[in-house]
Amino acid sequence: MKIEVVVDVKTTLGEGPLWDVEQERLYWIDSFDGRVFRATADGREIRSWDVPMKIGSMALRKDGSGAVVSLQRGFHLLDFATGEVTLIHDPEPDRPMNRLNDGKVDRRGRFFAGSMDTMEEGPSGGLYRLDPDFSVTRIDSGIICSNGPCWSPDDRTFYFADTWIGEIWAYDYDIATGAATNRRTFVRVDTSKGGAADGSTVDAEGYLWNALVYDGRLVRYAPDGSVDRIIDMPVKKITSVMFGGPKLDTLYVTSMAKPPLPRFPGDGVLRGSLFAITGLGVRGVPEPRFGG
């Protein structure tokens, strides 16, 4: 196993690595600086797009014209050619202290993203589903900080985390309807030591990988919730993970250069870097595109 820095752009809050299997390009975001990045698998040909507010997540559109993005105030479309950002829907216009955060697309092209309390204290957030026809459905509520949505390879289980409740949940998932039901605790994370569950992905074997933010560790969980593997990273503030590369066997890891709130710790000189881990002997699954 080898851990390398792919790109060192010192993202204030790097998040959401996303591998495009069609164009073989890697995307990631800077949530606080409002920016979308793209590069080759080895960090060359870097390009970026600015968005007008904080960004929580993104997914590529099926027609290749751009992306759907969860911005601070709602779901938007980003046009890669023009840089134009267009509002689709704000699901929480009455909650100015919330912002949309982490999100991913299921294999029918639906975009799931949750919201969070910007102070990361109160359970004011919700989980939403944006369908290809741009309709929005509320899936869950009472969330402090939404993170880590992903699906099992058979599409029967949806995983989602509330970072500061200290749990990663599993739901029964109906791929035909997009319904997520029967929420239960998949794993509990001990937040008393400073670490908490952030972004996740599921590999081809059905194991869930989670970034423990502020703890600097990646954890691979078996489908039964048991810990299969732990990887110590060069920085503490890791944020999210995604398999990519031409063979989907490189694990990309984002990190933050500056903690979002004063109570969170600082980090070393590699803070804010985008990392790549090779030699794991594990492959990911292709990330779907948004159907709208």
DSSP 110: P
Mean pLDDT, the chain, integer: 96
Delimit the domains of the chain by residue range.
2-278
Q: 234 to each of 2, 4, 199, 272, how far by Cα in Å? A: 12, 9, 17, 11
- Across 21-29, average pLDDT: 97
- 210-237 residue pLDDT tens: 999 999 999 999 999 999 999 999 999 9
Q: In which residue are the tokens 């409740």 written?
A: 165
Residue 42's pLDDT band, with cuts at 50, 70 and 90, is very high
The CATH number given to 2-278 is 2.120.10.30
Percent of the chain with pLDDT over 90: 92
Query: Looking at the predicted structure, is the pLDDT value of residue 178 above 80?
Result: yes
Query: Looking at the predicted structure, is the pLDDT value of residue 275 above 80?
Result: yes
DSSP 192: G
- Across 62-90, average pLDDT: 97
Alpha-carbon dihedral 201, 92, 156, 164, rounded to 10 degrees: 50
Q: What are phi and psi of 129, to 5 degrees?
A: -120, 120
Respond yes or no: is residue 203 known to be catalytic: no
Q: What is the pLDDT of residue 260?
A: 77
Written as one letter, the residue type at 264 is F
Choose the catalytic residue: 106, 117, 162, 198. 198
